[in-house]
Amino acid sequence: MGSKNKLKRFKENETFANVIQPTREEVVGNFEHKGKWKDFFKNDNPIVLELGCGKGEYTVGLAKRYPNKNFIGIDIKGARFWRGAKTAIEENLPNVAFLRSQIELVDCLFGAQEVSEIWITFPDPQIKYKRTKHRMTNEAFLERYAKILKPDGIMHLKTDSEFMHGYTLGLLHGLGYPVIYANHNVYTNEGAPEEVTSIQTFYENQYLEVGKAITYIQFRPTN
């Protein structure tokens, strides 16, 4: 994407009522929406997050399927989620928002037990050992997610990375966290939830074209 297109999207994001772009200082200080997202959406419906949402395919796709839930896509790259934010406005989806922020600040963005579900779709697996701290399912991240999830809250990991799938399963078993469902290839093995196969991201389509298996885990980050 050219720099001119990025700048155009950044400016357009500023006009979207469903896009929130706080500074880091605002987030770590006393973020205005933390614990008060029901006021933003003007209802008490469950809140579902998509972390590292990219173009927001899951945020928008799930919002269409579940109008009685609120969906928030989070990514540090606003030029990417511009597409999802614009689509939500064009299709009049009041239960969609996008938040430009770093994922490691997620427990500064939401209050304790404020979130019902978290989706992580096709994250960078950060395969090198020195990058372990950046893996979105490492123990430190799981602790952050547990703070904001309700006691019965669940997480979803969908990835093309066998490494990420195996790493996460191993970590969950080691920590004694419940794995509700796991599938090593959602398109050849039966039983995956409908939204796992019916919603496909831009990158997922590329992976499928070259024959990569898509994996999925549903779990709770607490015992």
Structural domain count of the chain: 1
Residue 152 annotated as binding site: no
Average pLDDT score, the chain: 95
Residue 91 annotated as binding site: no
* Residue 12 in tokens: 């357009």
What's the CATH code of the domain at 93?
3.40.50.150
**Quick check: pTM over 0.85?**
yes
Question: Residue with structure tokens 């395919």?
Answer: 57
DSSP H helical segments within the chain, as ranges?
Answer: 3-13, 24-30, 37-41, 57-65, 78-90, 106-109, 139-148, 162-175, 194-198, 202-209
Q: What does the pLDDT read at residue 168?
A: 98
Q: What does the pLDDT read at residue 12?
A: 84
Q: What does the pLDDT read at residue 184?
A: 96
Q: How confident is the model at residue 119 (pLDDT cuts 50, 70, 90)?
A: very high
Residue 201 annotated as binding site: yes
Domain interval for residue 148: 3-219
Q: What does the pLDDT read at residue 163?
A: 97
Q: How confident is the model at residue 1 (pLDDT cuts 50, 70, 90)?
A: low
Residue 203 annotated as binding site: yes
Q: How much of the chain exceeds pLDDT 70, in percent?
A: 98
Q: What does the pLDDT read at residue 223?
A: 76
* Residue 110 in tokens: 């939401």
Q: How confident is the model at residue 104 (pLDDT cuts 50, 70, 90)?
A: very high
Return d(Cα 208, Cα 169) in angstroms, integer: 22
pLDDT above 90 for 8: no
Distance of CA 205 to the CA centre of its chain: 18
Q: How confident is the model at residue 3 (pLDDT cuts 50, 70, 90)?
A: low
Q: How much of the chain exceeds pLDDT 90, in percent?
A: 89
Active site residues: 124
For the chain, helix (H) and strand (E) counts, in that order, are 10, 8
Averaged pLDDT for residues 124-138: 94
